[in-house]
Amino acid sequence: MLFIVMERLRFEMTRRLKCGWALIGIGLILVVAAGRSENANLGRTISRSISPPPHCQRSETVPGSFAAYLRDLPLKPPGSPVMLYDGRVKANRVQAEVIDLPIGAKDLHQCADAIIRLRADYLYHSGRWEAIRFRFTNGFQADYSRWREGWRIMASGNQASWVKTSRPTDSPESYWQYLEMVFRYAGTQIGRAHV
């Protein structure tokens, strides 16, 4: 499951609020849930559904920025449960909202993977593939631009290397395979350094 108890999102939103200190007191928790909703959520997004704290106003973001992307993330309907990667409902309810994004069917999403995923998705949907790169905990740099060229990462023990095994592609399925590799081998300190 991909929990986003995201310091980076909190930082972005706090930095962008004129009374940002109040947001930290709210203790905003967002969770990315398994599977996209079948229903259109009628434009439910973070910015439309989560109001700034009292006596504060949300500052403008630059169109196309990461902050604008985060604010426009789709949300599931109010009260939606958080689903685990295997389809079970998460037992304890600690989220304010549930982001409507798929997380796959593998137990790979840990704390750093949430922000890695959101940052990578932002860059992917912006067509900035060359900027998608993360370091594994062993220091190996996993560049999505190289992955798109058909190179794949072979990991053995604490070593990783590139091996040309596929045709060039930028399909969503290949992108997801890249992310799963990153989720397996990149950690909290590495994710924080690249966000």
The burial of 100, by beta-carbon neighbours within 10 Å (0-12 exposed, 13-18 middle, 19 or more buried), is given as buried
pLDDT band at 84 (very low <50, low <70, confident <90, very high): confident
The pLDDT score that the predictor gives to residue 114 is 87
Residue 20 has pLDDT above 90, yes or no: no
Nearest to 194 by CA among 146, 125, 100, 131: 131
Mean pLDDT (whole number) for 104-123: 87
In a domain, 5, yes or no: yes
Q: Mind listing the pLDDT tens digit for each residue in 44-63? A: 999 999 889 999 999 999 99
Tens-digit pLDDT profile for residues 155-181: 998 999 999 999 999 899 999 999 999
HEC string of 145-176?
Answer: HHHHCCEEEEEECCEEEEEECCCCCCCHHHHH
Residues 59 and 11 in one domain: yes
Average pLDDT, the chain: 79
- In this prediction the pTM is 0.75
Does residue 117 belong to any structural domain of this protein? no
Using DSSP's 3-state secondary structure scheme, residue 54 falls into: coil
Contact of 1 with 82, CB cutoff 8 Å: yes
Asked if residue 120 belongs to a domain, the reply is no
Query: Which domain-ending residue is among 42, 72, 107?
Result: 107
Share of the chain above pLDDT 70, in %: 74
Same domain as 139, residue 97? no
Query: Both 25 and 74 in a single domain?
Result: yes
| Residue 100 shares a structural domain with residue 35 | yes
Residues 5 and 79 in one domain: yes
Are 151 and 136 in contact by the 8 Å Cβ rule? The answer is no
Residues 146 and 79 in one domain: no
Q: How confident is the model at residue 191 (pLDDT cuts 50, 70, 90)?
A: very low
- Examine the domain organization and report whether 90 and 143 are in the same domain: no
Domains held by the chain: number = 2
Is residue 113 in a domain?
no
Does the pLDDT at position 126 exceed 60? yes
Lowest pLDDT segment from 22-36, 79-93, 117-131, 178-192: 22-36
More confident position, 5 or 70 = 70
Cβ contact 94:3 at 8 Å: no
Q: What is the DSSP string of 91-138?
A: SS---SEEE-----SSS---HHHHHHHHHHHHHHHTT-GGG-EEE-TT
Q: Which domain holds residue 8?
A: 1-107
Indicate the pLDDT class of residue 189, thresholds 50, 70 and 90: low
Burial state string for 48-60 with b = 16 or more CB within 10 A and e = fewer than 16? eebebeeeeeeee
Res 188: pLDDT = 60
Q: Which of the listed residues 76, 107, 138 is the one where a domain comes to its end?
A: 107
